[in-house]
């Protein structure tokens, strides 16, 4: 069975052809364009899909069975429409499935990127027998895909898994979503870096974080905070401690409510490894009961650089199985 996966991101789009078991046969990438150039974008995407399908050398014995699209939320999966993804400026009410459907003699399925990654972990992550799984993006923002009893938790309006906007402190910092004290404000890479940068500039703090950012506080990103903390910088260690505490608080809430067998963390956990996972595991007992915690494995994603390609394939596979 051959599947085509499309992973639409804020800066790039990946296209691949692969099998239902996650073996990638061919793949290519291109830039994602702003909403002012959507006609150009979809024309280029169509060309790229044809190129990848040609490279995969499909035939009548192994035809294309389905197309899966992983895209940033919020979106409407039923209509196949991107509503207003914050990292894709100008992509408002974009009918992605409608624009791509004429290219293929196969059904198209679409889901948000966190849900798609959860499906990829379930199908291709080596978690045989796991039926209750939470995938946390742990990247620029914090989203989740939630698998309950082997099925994706979609939600009535396709917003299941928006865990980054659970409120941890209603008096906390303002979130771009309009609420205050959302989990993402504390653990999303962008919000964390923005808050630390503002504090350094306001209090004129001398810290190695600035050195890690190339000497400019305006270029600070979350990886610079982590690098300075690893080097023993006192201020960076303080901020890293606050970050891991809030991370444990949100993860603990999920364990307490969902009682999963497995929680998988994405980008930041992959890059920082034990420097993040160690404090997280140490602090979790403060935020959840021991019984669900002892039953839950918490680990970085093992999908690595293949995650984007595999997420589209996972959406296609899940669509056929529904």
Same domain as 273, residue 139:
yes
What is the block-wise mean pLDDT of the chain (322 residues), using blocks of 10 residues? 92 94 95 92 96 92 93 90 86 96 96 94 91 94 94 90 93 90 94 96 97 97 98 98 98 98 95 97 98 97 86 96 86
pLDDT tens-digit readout, 32-85? 998 899 999 999 999 999 999 999 998 887 899 999 999 988 899 999 999 988
Please tell me the predicted confidence (pLDDT) of residue 184.
93
Please tell me the predicted confidence (pLDDT) of residue 59.
84
Same domain as 285, residue 139:
yes
pTM strictly above 0.75: yes
Please tell me the predicted confidence (pLDDT) of residue 228.
98
Please tell me the predicted confidence (pLDDT) of residue 150.
92
pLDDT tens-digit readout, 88-103? 889 999 999 999 999 9
Q: How far apart are CA 245 and CA 13, in angstroms?
A: 34
Please tell me the predicted confidence (pLDDT) of residue 73.
82
Domain that holds residue 148: 133-301
Handedness of CA 39, 57, 22, 1 (dihedral sign): positive
Nearest to 134 by CA among 119, 124, 155: 119
Say what angle helices 234-258 and 189-203 make with each other, to 10 degrees: 150
Q: How far apart are CA 3 and CA 16, in angstroms?
A: 8
Same domain as 167, residue 267:
yes
Nearest to 139 by CA among 192, 89, 177, 99: 192
Q: Which residues contact 248 (CB under 8 A, 6 or more apart)?
A: 279, 280, 283, 284, 286, 287
Rg of the Cα atoms in the chain: 20
Whether 306 is in a domain gets the answer no
User: Which CATH number covers residue 220?
Assistant: 3.30.420.40
Q: Per the structure block, which two tokens stand in for 174? A: 């303002």
Please tell me the predicted confidence (pLDDT) of residue 9.
87
Determine the 3-state secondary structure of 199 from DSSP: helix
Please tell me the predicted confidence (pLDDT) of residue 84.
85
> Which position has the token pair 């459907």?
101
Tell how far CA 235 is from the center of its chain: 28
Backbone region of residue 90 per phi and psi (left: phi > 0; alpha: psi in -120 to 50; beta: other values): left
Count of domains in the chain?
2
What does the longest C-alpha to C-alpha distance in the chain come to?
Answer: 67
Whether 167 is in a domain gets the answer yes
Please tell me the predicted confidence (pLDDT) of residue 164.
92
Q: Which residues contact 110 (CB under 8 A, 6 or more apart)?
A: 68, 69, 70, 71, 75, 77, 80, 96, 97, 315
Whether 308 is in a domain gets the answer no
Same domain as 142, residue 121:
no
C-beta contacts of 138-141 below 8 A and 24+ residues apart: 138/187, 138/265, 138/266, 138/267, 138/268, 138/269, 139/188, 139/189, 139/266, 139/267, 139/268, 140/87, 140/188, 140/189, 140/190, 141/184, 141/188, 141/189, 141/190, 141/191
Same domain as 261, residue 138:
yes
């Amino acid at each position: 069975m051959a599947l085509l996966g499309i992973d639409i991101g804020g800066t790039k789009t990946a296209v691949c052809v692969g099998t239902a078991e996650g073996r990638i046969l061919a793949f290519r990438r291109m830039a994602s364009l702003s909403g002012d150039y959507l006609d150009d974008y979809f024309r280029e995407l169509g060309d790229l899909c044809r190129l990848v399908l040609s490279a995969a050398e499909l035939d009548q014995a192994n035809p294309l069975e389905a197309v899966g699209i992983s895209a940033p939320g919020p979106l409407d999966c039923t209509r196949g429409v991107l509503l207003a993804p914050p990292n894709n400026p100008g992509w408002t009410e974009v009918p992605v499935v409608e624009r791509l459907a004429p290219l293929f003699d196969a059904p198209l399925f679409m889901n948000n990127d966190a849900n798609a990654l959860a499906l990829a972990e379930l199908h291709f992550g080596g978690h045989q027998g796991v039926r209750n799984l939470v995938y946390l993006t742990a990247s620029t923002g914090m989203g989740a895909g939630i698998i309950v009893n082997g099925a994706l938790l979609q939600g009535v309006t396709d917003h299941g898994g928006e865990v980054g906007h659970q409120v941890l402190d209603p008096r906390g910092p303002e979130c771009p979503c309009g609420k205050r004290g959302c989990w993402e404000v504390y653990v999303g890479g962008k919000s964390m870096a923005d808050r630390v940068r503002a504090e350094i500039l306001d209090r004129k703090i001398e810290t190695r974080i600035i050195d890690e950012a190339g000497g400019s506080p305006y270029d600070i990103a979350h990886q610079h905070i982590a690098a300075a903390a690893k080097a023993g910088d006192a201020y960076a260690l303080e901020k890293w401690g606050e970050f891991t505490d809030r991370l444990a608080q949100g993860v603990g809430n999920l364990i307490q409510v969902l009682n999963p067998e497995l929680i998988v963390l994405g980008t930041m956990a992959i890059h920082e490894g034990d420097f993040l996972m160690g404090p997280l595991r140490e602090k979790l007992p403060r935020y959840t009961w021991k019984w669900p915690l002892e039953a839950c494995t918490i680990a970085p994603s093992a999908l690595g650089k293949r995650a984007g390609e595999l997420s589209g394939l996972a959406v296609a596979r899940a669509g056929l199985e529904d």
